[in-house]
A and B are shown apart, each in its own frame.
Chain A
Amino acid sequence: MAVLLFFALAYPHHLHYQEQFQLFLFDSTYVWDIVRHLGGFADLLGRFCTQFFLYAWVGAAIIALLLSAIQLLTLRLLTSHLFYGLTFIPSFLLWLYLLNENALLSGVWAVLLSLLVACVIVKWANGWTRRILLIVAIPVLYYLVGPVCLPIPIDSLWLGVHYYRYPTIFPWLLWGAALSIWVIFGLYLLIRRRQVHSPHLSPLTSYLSFAIVAIIMGSFVWKNVNIKAEKVMQYDFMARHQQWNRILQTISAEKPNNQIGVTVQNLALAMRGMLLEQMANFNQNGIVGLLPDVKEDAASPLPTAEAFYQLGMINVAQRTVFEAQEAILDFQKSGRCYQRLAQTNLINGQYEVARKYLSALQKTLFYRDWANETLPLLGNEEAIARHPEYGRLRQWAYKDDFYFSDHVTPEMLESLYFGNTDNRMAYQYLLAYYVLTGDRERYNQFMSKKQ
């Protein structure tokens, strides 16, 4: 219950973050491409579950179920209540592991499957049968779930297995969780062999050991919660889902002081036509808070890309989203990015490219309906012109061609505005730019040109 409430209420946007950097396809080629790798079966299950993280409560429930199952299986592996509290340690370590947005659910599945097989063998087989089964199970498990089943801390065994988004980082906490099961089981065997058994103490030791573990591990979890990152992800999430009113409520309650927060804040203000009146009431972070330079990572460009898109800078948005997706460290694709790339290609009239993205989204669980609704728009100029978003953005998009790179300038905004003077977004951003730079000369030039 604690895990469920934690991820659903305190950490929901970490789950959304995870979901947006993968695209689970119901497609045999996609599945085969995953399972043919070491640890691929656990990876497949992890990716399958991660698609549900689009809905934080469902994602939290999945994590809670997995961690509970690991605790229960650990308990089942042992028969002494003396170890009741210790059986929570692997789950707590995995909870700690999952606090990091780059830790993937495949690691949790790898631990769970290893434990499940261990339980089955220990409970259902004896003597030589058990030994033979163990000898067979370890290599099979090693292929299916990776080195978690045999937690030897050798880099070359772990690196490249898809437990963590950075392929070159050793997942110490995951290794610790896997190792803890072996240590607890080893302790249990040792004590059982020495026939240390105190049934009278069992209930007391059970509660006591649980309390100790819960307090110690709980404090570790609490100390490692990254609320700052959660807030940044929240802004990104709200921008993605175009929750402009919610953004305004959020910034009214607490002014954002990080770059993504400020970018999203200004975007929401502009979307509601309030940027010029309200911008002075919030942190601005200079002109970087308006349209930051695009960086070569997967996460930070996406809110900026949302601003580009809403401004009508379709090619700039397209490039930014494409690059962000390419920068996903574990080479996965993104449902969010595919959606946006389909939209930019649709607006640009590149219908066959848009169709390609939409065809992929049709193979997903949660983007299928959107793809099916969007496909009939391809090539239907009238429907696109009537569409409240695509029609407007088509009219706002650049008419004159010029070259751009990583840096958006007032000339680009000016060109956008003069291309269509109904584009109030461009107008607000341009004037905000002049306000933030204090460039009166250019402002005057613009105003005279406008008149």
Chain B
Amino acid sequence: MRKIVYCLLFIVYCFAACTETVSDAKQETAQPSIYPDYIGVTIPVNIAPLNFSMADDNALLVDAVITDSHGHELHSQGDDAVDFDLDDWHALLADTRGDSLTVTVSAKYDDGWHTYRPFALYVSPDSIDYGLCYRLIEPGYEVWSKMGIYERDLSSFDESALIENTQFEGCVNCHSFNRGNPANMSLHIRGPHGATLLRHDNSSLTAYNTKTPQTLGLCVYPYWHPSGRYIAYSTNTTRQLFHSADRNRIEVFDEASDIQVYDVEKNELILSPLVKQDSVYETFPVFSADGRSLYFCAAVISEELRVKSEEFATAPQDSPVATANSTLNNFHYNLCRIDFDPATGTFGDHIETIIDAAAQHKSISFPRPSYDGRFLCYTLSDYGQFSIWHHEADLWLLDLNSSLFTLNSSLKNSPMTAANSDDTESFHNWSANSRWLVFSSRRDDGLYTRPYFCHVDTDGRVSKAFMLPQRHPRQFYRDRFFSFNVPEFIISPTRFDGRQAARIINSPSRSDFSVR
């Protein structure tokens, strides 16, 4: 027994000996340059440890001491990244709710230790949802390799697959939940086993064929009605072309698109001629927080643009040399709204333009109202609607309490400067409490999309964004050749049975949507 105790003590000593004391450190006046950049960020009280590395590759050791206002400390040291103990981290954050932490970073280089000016982490009292659901896919063109839908616990580093395309032949996309509640879920499968999988109020999955003779094509971009009874979908005829010499690689555009609402209980699509116009491309429908409005993006296609567009659509096989300025960059989407009566499932009788982005030669995509009804976040780019491939795309925040809806004059509609970067910011979603926003950004390397989070307070003040934490962030993001696509908050584990879903997908049985 004594030998065992000695052995254990020796092992503990060995582990303890692995940590080197920071000594004779040169005191730097600058704050450290770390990866990911967590300096001065606001974080939710239940987020996973914000492990980090030095931004350069030359550090031999990195050491961090986190101190709260009561003097409690959390220490970590590592050769590539600091790796805070999960339980200690959460205990520290719980004690610091609404207060700030001070992080002192030291790094050992060939010339010895350097200690940097401490920086703060602000611990918001607003918690973040349980997790995140996203698609992992290579940021490619038209062919896809391995991909899947995954969920990640935001308070730890645990990631698991809901379904992967190794389980069936095809691709999977557009996962959607009702305010993050996985009891109501929509998921598209494309390819030979194409279907839309729906789970309503935790019922079993059903596979649907969403194309009907009266509609343009398959249902595409989904958004749940707060009641869970309806899902707004766009239906799009989408195409891709590629840039020969531009910072943006790819242009994804619609050749037609409409909006429709699906009544989950009656299994029928609700159509309206107002959101099904040939001269207007309507897309990205979302319900307002009270469920009585439908926001969407719409591009009015002039006759001249329509003719050019049709010529362009048929031209590439014969004459693909079309200047980028000729056609596609004349597609500008406005933010629009139409009434929706959830009791009767009927649309209003007119469309209201909320933001006339076309007048500014800009284009709006991905409108997302906060669930408290206060704000609407959207992506603004130079043209088109597929903003993930637009490096100029940024997030904007619209205060729905304001009546001043112009792009450049009102403080009530402004870019989310603290969260934006020089590179792409695109798809985004609100947490259930409407205080956190997750969004896709390509700021890391210009190509691979990463999820970032920012805090939006009740007055619309936006905090600096921080990247989804990983245990070994540099190694993780460098080695992962996937983009995080369509990050959606989830308020609890999805409990998605991937095997059952694969069986349903691989079976030929599909239920058809009917049309009211």
Decide yes or no whether A316 CB sits under 8 A from chain B.
yes
Asked if A401 contacts B246 (CB within 8 A), the reply is yes
Asked if B323 contacts A400 (CB within 8 A), the reply is yes
Tell whether A326 pairs with B140 under 8 Å between CB atoms, given A352-B445, A359-B478: yes
Asked if B143 contacts A401 (CB within 8 A), the reply is no
Q: Which of A168, A322, A397, A403 contacts B322 (CB 8 A)?
A: A403
Could you say which residues of chain A place their CB within 8 Å of the CB of B169?
168
Asked if B478 contacts A356 (CB within 8 A), the reply is yes
Could you say which residues of chain A place their CB within 8 Å of the CB of B488?
none
Asked if B323 contacts A401 (CB within 8 A), the reply is yes
Decide yes or no whether B109 CB sits under 8 A from chain A.
no
Decide yes or no whether B319 CB sits under 8 A from chain A.
yes
Asked if A409 contacts B318 (CB within 8 A), the reply is yes
Could you say which residues of chain A place their CB within 8 Å of the CB of B142?
296, 323
Decide yes or no whether A402 CB sits under 8 A from chain B.
yes
Hey, what's the 0/1 contact readout for A397-412 against B, CB within 8 Å counting as 1?
A: 1111111110101011
Decide yes or no whether A218 CB sits under 8 A from chain B.
no
A414 to B320, CA, bound (A): 12
Tell whether A296 pairs with B448 under 8 Å between CB atoms, given A401-B243, A411-B319: no
B407-432 at interface with A (beta carbon < 8 Å): none
A325 to B481, CA, bound (A): 12
Pair count A-B, CB < 8 A:
115
Asked if A315 contacts B317 (CB within 8 A), the reply is no
Could you say which residues of chain B place their CB within 8 Å of the CB of A401?
243-246, 323-324
Chain A interface size range: 35 or more
Decide yes or no whether A27 CB sits under 8 A from chain B.
yes
Decide yes or no whether A195 CB sits under 8 A from chain B.
no
Hey, what's the 0/1 contact readout for B262-287 against A, CB within 8 Å counting as 1?
A: 00000000000000000000000000
Asked if A402 contacts B320 (CB within 8 A), the reply is yes
Decide yes or no whether A93 CB sits under 8 A from chain B.
no
CB distance from B448 to the nearest CB of A (A): 7
Could you say which residues of chain B place their CB within 8 Å of the CB of A398?
244-245
Decide yes or no whether A121 CB sits under 8 A from chain B.
no
Asked if B479 contacts A29 (CB within 8 A), the reply is yes
Could you say which residues of chain B place their CB within 8 Å of the CB of A412?
244, 320-321
Decide yes or no whether B300 CB sits under 8 A from chain A.
no
Could you say which residues of chain A place their CB within 8 Å of the CB of B317?
405, 407
Tell whether A400 pairs with B481 under 8 Å between CB atoms, given A323-B142, A409-B319: no
**A412 (CB) vs chain B CBs: closest residue:** B321
Decide yes or no whether B10 CB sits under 8 A from chain A.
no
Count of interface residues, chain B, beta-carbon cutoff 8 Å: 37
Decide yes or no whether A187 CB sits under 8 A from chain B.
no
Decide yes or no whether A415 CB sits under 8 A from chain B.
yes
A414 to B321, CA, bound (A): 10
Asked if B447 contacts A353 (CB within 8 A), the reply is yes
Asked if A411 contacts B245 (CB within 8 A), the reply is no
Decide yes or no whether A350 CB sits under 8 A from chain B.
yes
Could you say which residues of chain B place their CB within 8 Å of the CB of A356?
445, 448, 478, 481
Could you say which residues of chain A place their CB within 8 Å of the CB of B145?
325-328, 331
Decide yes or no whether B498 CB sits under 8 A from chain A.
no
A393-451 at interface with B (beta carbon < 8 Å): 397-405, 407, 409, 411-412, 414-415
Decide yes or no whether B138 CB sits under 8 A from chain A.
yes
Q: Which of A325, A352, A405 contacts B316 (CB 8 A)?
A: A405
Decide yes or no whether A360 CB sits under 8 A from chain B.
yes
Asked if A331 contacts B479 (CB within 8 A), the reply is no
Asked if B328 contacts A326 (CB within 8 A), the reply is no
Asked if B244 contacts A400 (CB within 8 A), the reply is yes
Tell whether A296 pairs with B328 under 8 Å between CB atoms, given A404-B241, A409-B320: no
Tell whether A402 pairs with B324 under 8 Å between CB atoms, given A331-B166, A353-B446: yes
Could you say which residues of chain A place their CB within 8 Å of the CB of B319?
409, 411
B240-258 at interface with A (beta carbon < 8 Å): 240-246, 249, 251
Q: Which of B166, B245, B481 contacts A397 (CB 8 A)?
A: B245
Decide yes or no whether A392 CB sits under 8 A from chain B.
no
CB distance from B400 to the nearest CB of A (A): 37
Q: Which of A160, A319, A331, A411 contacts B320 (CB 8 A)?
A: A411
A411 to B145, CA, bound (A): 32
A333-369 at interface with B (beta carbon < 8 Å): 333, 350, 352-353, 355-356, 359-360
A316 to B478, CA, bound (A): 25
CB distance from B322 to the nearest CB of A (A): 6
Tell whether A404 pairs with B242 under 8 Å between CB atoms, given A328-B145, A350-B447: yes
CB distance from B44 to the nearest CB of A (A): 28
Asked if B244 contacts A353 (CB within 8 A), the reply is no
Q: Which of B141, B241, B444 contacts A322 (CB 8 A)?
A: B141
CB distance from B470 to the nearest CB of A (A): 12
Q: Which of B143, B241, B243 contacts A323 (CB 8 A)?
A: B143
Could you say which residues of chain A place their CB within 8 Å of the CB of B321?
402, 409, 411-412, 414-415
Could you say which residues of chain A place their CB within 8 Å of the CB of B444?
352
If A327-B143, A403-B251 are given as contacts, then 13 extra A-B residue pairs at C-beta distance below 8 Å, sorted by A number, are A296-B143, A322-B140, A323-B141, A331-B166, A352-B446, A353-B445, A359-B478, A360-B481, A401-B243, A403-B244, A403-B322, A407-B316, A412-B320
A-B contact pairs, 12 of them (CB 8 A): A315-B245, A315-B249, A319-B242, A322-B138, A323-B143, A350-B447, A353-B445, A353-B448, A356-B481, A400-B245, A401-B243, A403-B241
- Chain B residues with a Cβ under 8 A of chain A: 138, 140-146, 166, 169, 240-246, 249, 251, 316-324, 328, 444-448, 478-479, 481
